[in-house]
Amino acid sequence: MTVKSDAFVFFGATGDLAYKQIFPALQALIRDEDFDLPIIGIARSGWDIEKLRERAKDSVTEHGGLDKRAFGKLVKLLRYVDGDYKQADTYQRLREMLGKAQHPLHYLAIPPSLFETVVKHLDQSGCATGARVVVEKPFGRDLASARELNRTLHRIFPEDAIFRIDHYLGKEAVQNLLYFRFANSFLEPLWNRTYIDSVQITMAESFGVQGRGSFYEEVGCLRDVVQNHMLQVLVLLAMDAPTSHDAEAMRSEKLRLLRAIRPLDPKEVVRGQFRGYRTEQGVAKNSQVETFAAMRLHIDTWRWQGVPFYIRAGKEMPVTCTEVFVDLKCPPLAVFDRIAPRDSNYFRFRLSPDVVISAGVRVKKPGEAMRGENVELIARAQPRRVRLPYARLLGDALRGNAELFGRDDGIEAAWRIIDPALNDAERVLQYNPGTWGPKAADELTAGEEGWHNPVVKKNGNGK
Ligand code: NDP
């Protein structure tokens, strides 16, 4: 039987991620799942527990709202250890604070450069024994460093105690994509190269780096969202059905698909940078870091041979939205009116800000003539507020359920695909904020009559 964790330790307690995600997720876990474990935050700001409680209060107030009862309990469970991650005595104090806990879960919400230091100290101080570790993204900077990080973690933790987080997998919309694919038999005959023309995934953000220029300089769009979030979405769209809902069956099936994706050809990748990025604080004046990337991918399987998969992600785009378009092939003959092929015959998955699953079809317009119009059949349209992905994922990690977390081989397979495009020597193309990126990105999809640009309406799901 899988053991439940008996303490939640989070490194990076004073950081941005803790503020935006971890405190709200903890409050939600207390409210919805009777979470009742010691919560130990660690950072080096010279704070005390009162300051951390204030921070927690501001965090939940700003992100979703304060739930009086749940927050009251969060305050009681919260502890704080102040200390540098590079110093052994920090971990001695953590060990004392853990008291009788035998199976703590250590959440590394810290700069990736510190992962190794922290896990080594956890080991030396005895805090790693019987423990789990959650590692934030990015997991490595490329294939070689991801392999090295896996080796480091494996020296201390067994694979089933390592939870590589990609919060995209915890999103309601992403879960629904997986569910929709494998809970409906009508899709299977269509879901292949015979009926599907191409697939597009767009992740657009209408904002820039939001003061986190120095962080972004180290990462860039490909590492920040493509190697992880976008490839995960692609995998869910393209994988074969797993034999069961078991975590390992699911992860093995994903791995099979990842291994069938051809490593990127730099000629099929466009890197862009929005004008104004280089004047952001912490950004080099001649920075070549991409804030936009678009690419064409190929999957070498019987199901997908010859079907292009496109990914596009960027900052300072016209809208904030993540959407998938699965374009079906046109009917072989125009028996009735001629139609613009891409306005119907598709599936659309809106992953954020709201959740939509729909199919674009043609129906006859009422009247004498055999003329048609496009309509969308909506299978699911859900408002913006749904369960917090971090609450789902942290709950799963505490229970030892690894289904929604990256496995060592899967992470390495994803880097293998991205690696050839990481060569920053290739110049980035500038684009104006508020546009869909450099013009060269449009050439990638020329064979498909261009990109589907998501539309976001104020009170609706767009389209
Ligand atoms: P921040 O820089 O905001 O926070 C880093 C945290 O680590 C702070 O609490 C800081 O403490 C602590 N820290 C850093 N160095 C030391 C040290 N030597 N000793 C003790 N404490 C130290 O980072 P983020 O919260 O933004 O990111 C954390 C991780 O989460 C990263 O891996 C990032 O890639 C990932 N992530 C972040 C997201 C976000 O939205 N922020 C989204 C997805 C992933 P102090 O303040 O005291 O220096």
Q: Residue 362 pairs with which residues in a beta bridge?
A: 374
**Helix (H/G/I), strand (E/B), else coil: 156:** helix
Separation of CA 85 and ligand 1 centre (Å): 12
User: Tokens in use for 168?
Assistant: 């995209």
Is any atom of ligand 1 closer than 6 Å to the C-beta of 109?
yes
**Where would I find the beta strands (DSSP E) of 49-122?**
78-82, 104-108
Beta bridge partners of 347: 326, 359
What per-residue confidence (pLDDT) applies to 336? 86
Substitution site in 9, 14, 17 for ligand 1 pocket (most atoms within 8 Å of beta carbon)? 17
pLDDT of 301 reads 98
Q: How far is the CA of 26 from the centre of ligand 1 (A)?
A: 17
CB 137 less than 6 A from any atom of ligand 1: yes
Q: Phi-psi region for residue 345, left (φ > 0), alpha (ψ -120 to 50) or beta?
A: left
Residue tagged active-site, from 121, 229, 245, 452 = 229
For residue 234, the CA-to-ligand 1 centroid distance in Å is 28
Which atom of ligand 1 is found nearest the CA of 167?
43
Closest by alpha carbon to 294, among 310, 307, 317? 310
1 to each of 6, 128, 164, 179, 400, how far by Cα in Å?
15, 20, 22, 26, 10
Is there an atom of ligand 1 within 6 Å of 12 CB? yes
**Ligand 1: does its nearest atom lie under 6 Å from the Cβ of 212?**
no
Write down the pLDDT at residue 459: 59
- Residue 180 has φ and ψ, to the nearest 5°, of -60, -40
| Ligand 1 atom nearest to CA at 85 | 19
Give 224 Cα–ligand 1 centroid separation in angstroms: 15
Per-residue confidence in pLDDT tens, the chain, 463 aa: 589 999 999 999 999 999 999 999 999 999 999 899 999 999 998 999 999 999 999 999 999 999 999 999 999 999 999 999 999 999 999 999 999 999 999 999 998 889 999 999 999 999 999 999 999 998 999 999 999 999 999 999 999 999 999 999 999 899 999 999 999 999 999 999 999 999 999 999 999 999 999 989 989 999 999 999 999 999 999 999 999 988 899 999 999 999 999 999 999 999 999 999 999 999 999 999 999 999 999 999 999 999 999 999 999 999 999 999 999 998 888 888 776 667 789 999 999 999 999 999 999 999 999 989 999 999 988 876 667 899 999 999 999 999 999 999 999 999 999 999 997 666 899 999 999 999 999 999 988 889 999 999 865 455 5
* Mutation probe of ligand 1 site: the residue of 19, 90, 110, 218 with most atoms within 8 A of C-beta: 110
Q: CA geometry: angle at 244 spanning 300 and 234, to 5°?
A: 35
Instruction: Name the residue with tokens 């891409």.
Output: 342
DSSP state letter for 225: I
Prediction pTM value: 0.93
> Given the structure tokens 């920053």, which residue do they identify?
424
229 belongs to the catalytic site: yes
The atom number, within ligand 1, closest to the CA of 83 reads 20
57 within 8 A of 71, measured Cβ to Cβ: yes
**Does the beta carbon of 330 lie inside 6 Å of ligand 1?**
no
Q: Which of 140, 119, 393, 403 is nearest to 253 (CA)?
A: 403
How many residues are recorded in the chain?
463
Helix/strand/coil for 441: helix
Phi and psi at 367, nearest 5°, equal: 135, 180
What residue owns the CA closest to ligand 1's atom 9? Answer: 12
Q: Ligand 1 mean position to 139 CA, how many Å?
A: 14
Tokens of 362: 């043609």
Residues 6+ apart with CB under 8 A from 53: 75, 78
Q: Tell me how many helices (H) and strands (E) the chain has.
A: 15, 15
| 210 Cα–ligand 1 center, Å | 15
Given this model, what pLDDT does residue 305 score?
98
Strands 355-364 and 346-352: antiparallel
Which pLDDT score is estimated for 462?
A: 52
Residue position matching structure tokens 């950081």: 15
> Which residues contact residue 68 at a Cβ distance below 8 angstroms, ignoring those fewer than 6 apart?
none
**CB 170 less than 6 A from any atom of ligand 1:** no
